[in-house]
Amino acid sequence: MAQKDNILIIGAGLCGSLLALRLAQRGYQITLVEKRPDLRKVTQDAGRSINLALSDRGLKGLRLAGVEEEAKKLCIPMNGRMIHDKEGNTFLSPYSGREGEYINSISRPGLNMLLLDAIDKMPNVTTYFNLGCEEVDLENASTSFKNYETGKTETYSGDILIGTDGAGSAVRRNMFEHKKFLFSFSQQWLTHGYKELEIPAGEDGGFKTYKNALHIWPRGEDMLIALPNLDGSFTVTLFLPYANSDYCFDNLITAEKVEEYFKKEFPDALELIPNLAEEYFNNPTGPLGTIKCSPWHCYGKSLLMGDAAHAIVPFYGQGMNASFEDVVVFDEVLEKFEGNWEQVFSEYEKARKIDTDAIADLAVDNFHEMKEHTASPLFQQKRKLEIAFETQLPKEYFSKYSLVTFNEAIPYSLAMKRGRAQDKAILNLLDDGKLKDDMSLEEKLQLVIKETNDILHDD
Ligand code: FAD
C-alpha cells in the first residue's frame, strides 16, 4: 500500500490531539507541533478553565478515536444546574427529564494528557513541544516555529497543514495577513471577563457542596459558576463586567472590596472559598469573545479547525464539544473525498460552518439566560414544564438545551432553529395564560407544538 500523505498539525490542545489521533488511525503520517511544554511533564498555568463540561457531541468524537471509555473514567456527571440565591437557598434545575441525559465535568489537562498518551502509542505520529508557530507558507504547507528552548527557528512541512492552535491562532493570523484571497474575520468581545477561583476539598477529601451539579449563582449582570473535580474540589468561575458597574473588574482592586462583593452577592460561596482574595489577585482575568472567519482553508493545502476556526463564549459548554465534533465531520468528509484535499476542505467547511455559527450564537444567548433568566419565575415555570414534558412524554419533546447537548444526530443549526421557536412558543403561551392548570400535559404539549410550528412557519 502506498504511504499516505504527511499532515502537519499545529497545536496539540484538545482538538489537535484528537485530530492527530484519528488521522493517524486512518494511516496518515502526522507531525504534531505544540507551543507549550508537554503538560505530562510540566505543570501548566492555573486560571485557564481547569475543568470543562463534556457532553454527547464531544463523547462522539472521543468514541470515534476509541478513547471514550478511558475519558469517562475522568468524568463527574452533572445532572442539572444547582441555583444559589442571595440568601444561600438552593434548588436543582435538571438538564433533562429523561434518564441518562446529563453533562460531565472533566479535567482539561487530564483529557489532553489522555489524548497525548493515546497518540504516543501510534508509530506514525511525531510530536514536538515548545515550538511556537510563527510564519506559515500557506501555499506549501510549511511553517517556521520558534523553539522556546534554544531560541532558534525550525521549519516543518507536510503535504497539508491543519491549524488547531486555538482562539489566538497564528495560522489564522497568517491567513488574515496573506492578502492573496479574501479572508473574512470577525471578533466580538463580551463586556464581561472571567476569573477562576477554587473551592478546595473538605478535610476528609470530600466535596463541600453537592457534587453532581453545575452550580450557578446568577445575579443579573454577573454570575458565579462551579464545576466539580475528581479530587473533591470545585473550579469556580466568576463572570463579571470589566467596567461600568458597581462591582466590576476595574474596581474590585482591594481584598476588602472583593470580600464585600462576595459577602453581598455570593455569601454561601464565600464560606467555601478560603483563599478568595489571594486567588482573585493571583489568577488572570480572561476575555470572552466570539471569532468567526471564512474561508477556513486555502490552496488545498491549509485548513483551520477547532477554536482557531470558530472560538465561542463558554456559556453553552460546547466549545470543546464542537471542536471534537469538527473531527467527526472532517472524518466523514474524508471518507467520501479522500485523495482530493481541496475538495475535502471545501466540503468540510460547507458542511460545518453553518453549525459552528449556530453554536456561537446560541452560546451568547445562553450567557444572558444563565446570568439573568435562570433566576426569573417565568423562566423557572418554563423549565418546569419542559422537564415534565421530557419526563412524561420523553419521545415527544426535546428542549433547546436537550437538542443542543444530548442529540448529536441533530446539527447545531437545526437545534437552534427548533429550540428558539419552542422557547418563544412556551414563553408566549405562559405569558398569555393559555397553558391552563386544568389541561392535561398532552394538551399542553399539543398547544406548544402548534405554536412552535406557527413560529417556524412565519420565520
Ligand atoms: P485549545 O484547547 O486552546 O488548544 C490550542 C492549542 O494550540 C494549545 O495547546 C496551545 O498551546 C497551542 N498553540 C497556540 N498557539 C500556538 C502556536 N503559535 N504554535 C503552536 N501551538 C500553539 N468547552 C466545552 O465544551 N465545555 C466547557 O465547559 C467549556 N468551558 C470553557 C470555559 C472557559 C472559561 C473557556 C475560556 C473555554 C471553555 N470551553 C469549553 C471552550 C474550550 O476550552 C475550547 O473550545 C477548546 O479548548 C478548543 O480546543 P482547541 O484545541 O481548538 O483549542
Q: Where are the beta strands (DSSP E) in 200-233?
A: 214-219, 222-228
Give the atom of ligand 1 at the shortest distance from the alpha carbon of 237. 34
Residues 6 or more apart whose CB falls under 8 angstroms from that of 79 comprise 92, 94, 95, 102, 212, 213
pLDDT of residue 379: 86
157-205 pLDDT, tens per residue?
999 999 999 999 999 999 999 989 999 999 999 999 999 999 999 999 9
What is the whole-number distance in angstroms between the Cα of residue 3 and the centre of ligand 1? 32
Could you give the 3-state DSSP secondary structure of residue 61?
A: helix
Task: List pocket residues of ligand 1, CB cut-off 6 Å.
Answer: 10-16, 33-36, 49, 52-53, 132-133, 164-166, 170, 194, 237, 306-308, 314, 317-321, 323
Question: Quick one: pLDDT at residue 47?
Answer: 45
Q: How far is CA 124 from CA 1, 131, 328, 334, 341, in A?
A: 15, 20, 20, 18, 20
Mean pLDDT check: name the lowest of 55-64, 213-222, 347-356: 213-222
Cα–Cα distance measured from residue 157 to residue 171, given in angstroms and rounded to the nearest whole number? 13
Q: How far, in Å, from the CA of 311 to the mean position of ligand 1?
A: 9
Helix H or strand E segment including 81: strand 80-84
Tell me the one-letter amino acid at 6: N
pLDDT at 2: 65
The pLDDT, as a whole number, for residue 45 is 60
Burial label for 349, CB within 10 Å (0-12, 13-18, 19+), is: buried
The span from the CA of 427 to the CA of 388, in Å, is: 15
Best mutation site among 52, 238, 285, 315 for ligand 1 pocket (most ligand atoms within 8 Å of CB)? 52
Coil/strand/helix, residue 34: coil
pLDDT tens-digit map of 99-113: 899 999 999 999 999
The upper half-sphere exposure of residue 423, i.e. CA atoms within 13 Å in the direction of its Cβ, equals: 17
Does the pLDDT value for residue 1 go beyond 70?
no
What is the mean pLDDT of the segment spanning 126-155? 98
What's the mean pLDDT in 369-383? 80
Architecture of domain 6-44+108-186+289-367: 3-Layer(bba) Sandwich (3.50)
Interatomic CA distance for residues 331 and 28, integer angstroms: 12
How confident is residue 42, by pLDDT bands cut at 50, 70 and 90? confident
Segment 47-55 mean pLDDT:
81
Kind of pairing, strands 6-10 and 29-33? parallel
**Structural domain boundaries in the chain:** 6-44+108-186+289-367, 376-458
With cut-offs at 50, 70 and 90, classify the pLDDT of residue 371: confident
The predicted-structure confidence for 429-446, as pLDDT tens digits, reads as follows 999 999 999 999 999 999
d(CA 427, CA 386): 11
ipTM of the complex: 0.99
> What is the reported pLDDT for 380?
86
The per-residue pLDDT for range 234-248, each reduced to its tens digit, is: 999 999 999 998 899
Asked whether residue 421 carries a pLDDT value surpassing 70, the answer given is: yes
Say how many C-beta atoms besides its own lie within 10 A of residue 1's C-beta.
4
Does residue 368 carry a pLDDT above 90? no
Across residues 9-30, what is the average pLDDT? 98
Q: What percent of the chain has pLDDT over 90?
A: 91
What burial letters (b/e) apply to 46-65, b meaning 16+ CB within 10 Å?
ebeebbbbbbbbbbbbbebb
Pairing state between β 222-228 and 214-219: antiparallel
- The confidence score (pLDDT) of residue 338 equals 97
The whole-number average pLDDT for the span 337-348 is: 98
Q: How far is the CA of 143 from the centre of ligand 1 (A)?
A: 21
Grid cell 460547507 is found at 350
Burial of 186 (0-12, 13-18, 19+ CB in 10 A): exposed
